[in-house]
A and B are shown apart, each in its own frame.
Chain A
Amino acid sequence: MSETTKEPLVEVKDLRVEFDVRAGIVKAVDGLNLTIQRGKTLGVIGESGCGKSMTARAILNMIPRPGKITNGKIVYHRRVKSNGHSQLDDVVEITELDPDGKTIREIRGGEIGMIFQEPMSSLTPVYTAGIHINEAVSLHRLTPVRKVGDQIAEQVMAHRNITQEEAREIAIKMLGRVGIPKPDQRVDSYPHQLSGGQRQRVMIAIALSCEPAMLIADEPTTALDVSIEAQILDIMRELQESVNMAIMFITHNLGVIASMADEIVVMYMGKAVEQAKVVELFKDAKHPYTQALLRSIPKLGKKNKGERLASISGMTPDPFNLPTGCVFHPRCPMFMPGKCDTIVPSWTKVGEDHYAACLLYEEV
């Protein structure tokens, strides 16, 4: 967590993503600002429906219909590698790109990788066995039959000009790096022959095989057991250090985020409510929502019998009928009548590298 080098990789500026559905318009992301620094991990936490996954998809310009980016910019500072030195190449505005165009396809997978929650459905299922990997690679355009190694090799080949032998070698090397035992044999297995944890490792291997500048991890360990989760998180940390990759780590699990992130953004109903360095956020959260979230998780360790959890009262609001003013005010323990229900809080600096959107810290 060195403070010295700070170079923005992806900047999200006033992003709005809206879904026009029959009952009205849902603001999935509503005026979000965030910056992912090169080589750092940005944690995004929030409950289901808060817009964290939509933000990730917006960065890859992959908003599902009927969703639309209606406002804002996503700026990607692209670098090209030459002679072992990487230099700033150009600035790409992802929101301006054709979602099916060449540039965004180069970026997706090649420069920004993504892993998902459910590793089974993220890998192509398999019908036959025992085809040698090279044959399969040449066949994969005709049939959906793919082995694990093929999926990695294909990823590599789609972005670089590499021979099949090289691709296979990379595949084996990557599988080894993500901790899959006997990678030279496993490269020929099919997804169903792997366990959930191994599949997620393969996903990571695929995402990392092109050495992306950034990895978007959307709840990567939610479907896994704690012991496997611990292994996966270790691997992600190790790999990040060795390739200097940025990670956008999306989760609802505060325990996981504490051990992974350098900086954290807390989201609620499509808006960022707080952003801070990880230690600062856990030690000195400013926004009442963050404070409540931190208090509401049961913690391992000594406890008093019958102790109650501090919970957030009420439920997340109807996305078609958002509360006026601060969207959190109906559930907020610090609710200030006349203020919170009328004024929309703005993004205020509350400490060094620490921001919150709350009227407690605003002069109004």
Chain B
Amino acid sequence: MTVAEQTQPVTTPASKQKQVSQSYWSLVWWKFKRNRTAVVGGILLIAFYISFVAIPEFISPYALARSSKYVEAPPTKIRFVDAAGQFHARPFVYGLEQELDFATRARTYVEDTTRVYPLYFFVRGDPYELLGLIPTNLHLYGVDQQSDPDAIVLLMGSDALGRDWFTRIMYGGRLSLTIGLIGQVLTILFGTVLGVMSGFYGGAVDQVIQRTTEFLNAFPQIPLFMALAAAIPTFWSPLAVFFILSIILSFVGWGGLARQVRGLILSLREREYVLAAKSAGASDTRLMFRHLLPGTMSHVVVIATLAIPGMILAETALSWLGLGLRPPLTSWGVLLFDAATVRAIHTTPWELWTVPFILVTILAYNMLGDGLRDALDPYGAR
């Protein structure tokens, strides 16, 4: 007699029966909600995906390609108190004056306290199409550029072309976050289908699939990535590079997933409900995709969630090495590539702002993945 047995609802007389039937996934959701860390991770990721992937044009104050005359400017200070010591409810920034030291050729910026630009929410700026549909020029925050084109706010400084670094991080997140997701979707597709087939049919099919995954796993990963990425022709369009890179990323990942799915299938295959369906005349496809695959989905979801950060990091690493995405595409890896020289760290340290974004994303994925792993076994109350 275990506690788990007792906690399972036993049917009570109809009069008392007010209990809503719960599907597996609703039980998972119930348990997931109670894990605060996982919920925080999930909310962070949703926020990231909305702001970086869906609407970075709105969140960022400028268009990606827009360069200004303020080259390698440090983050603009946002002020509430002016030079005269007076407090303002609306934050403002001062105008910038560039000074070039001709001896060292170093640029310095000083604030021109005579020019005051108040910060506004929902300002008009560079035009774009929201979600690729609605033409607008509204931005989440900014300074009024239309009345004074010299007005600028650079939350995280600017780069060597005078582009707003914060804007670049936003747009870079779009590619970095989607490449992990697309790569993982491909991984799941290859991994589960091949894993299910491998476990279900066994024999020769199993041998071929397993030997292939071993072959792939035997390659050292980073050199393999590098070789594959280096093989991408330079004349390909950035978009083609993006897709081919996500395929490359999933190429190595599916083997491990296929193995785990195969193991699960081997144990599920002997369950009596599978035999029951088989004895009723169910086809192989039905057995595989109706009875076996759903049983592995919970594990697949966890494995996938925990593997996405790896994909994001792999993209970052490849791009940082100059082998992945290349300008004019902007991804976090490309941004890191820009910031990776000693000179850049010395003169434009704000370009390292990319790192915390990557860290928080990875952390959020891991928090979510751990929570999912705990939640996906709602019957195991032990």
Contacts and interface: CB of A to CB of B under 8 A. Distances in A.
Interface stretch (B7-15, B67-75, B138-146, B183-191): B7-15
B7 A21 contact: yes
A319 B1 CA distance: 13
A142 interface: no
Contact of A23 (B7, B11, B12, B16): B7
Given A26-B3, A49-B1, A21 B381 contact: yes
Contacts of B6: 19, 21, 26, 28, 49, 319
Give the size range of B's interface with the partner: 10 to 19
Nearest to B11: A315
A302 to B, nearest CB: 35
Contacts of A316: 10
B175 to A, nearest CB: 43
Contacts of A67: 3
Interface residues of A, number: 23
Contacts of A49: 1, 5-6
Mostly, the B contact residues are loop
Of B1, B13, B16, B381, chain A has the most CB atoms within 10 Å of the CB of B1
Mostly, the A contact residues are loop
Nearest to B1: A53
B10 A318 contact: yes
Interface in B247-273: none
Interface string B1-40: 1010111011111001000000000000000000000000
B10 A317 contact: yes
Contacts of A315: 10-11
Nearest to B16: A321
A217 to B, nearest CB: 16
A22 B7 CA distance: 8
Nearest to A321: B12
A19 B10 contact: no
23 contacts: A21-B6, A21-B381, A23-B7, A23-B9, A26-B3, A26-B6, A26-B7, A28-B1, A28-B6, A48-B5, A49-B1, A53-B1, A54-B1, A67-B3, A315-B10, A315-B11, A317-B10, A318-B9, A318-B10, A318-B12, A319-B10, A321-B12, A330-B13
Interface of B: 1, 3, 5-7, 9-13, 16, 381
Given A48-B1, A318-B9, 20 more contacts: A19-B6, A21-B3, A21-B381, A22-B7, A26-B6, A49-B1, A49-B6, A50-B1, A51-B1, A52-B1, A54-B1, A64-B3, A66-B3, A316-B10, A317-B12, A318-B10, A318-B11, A318-B12, A319-B6, A330-B13
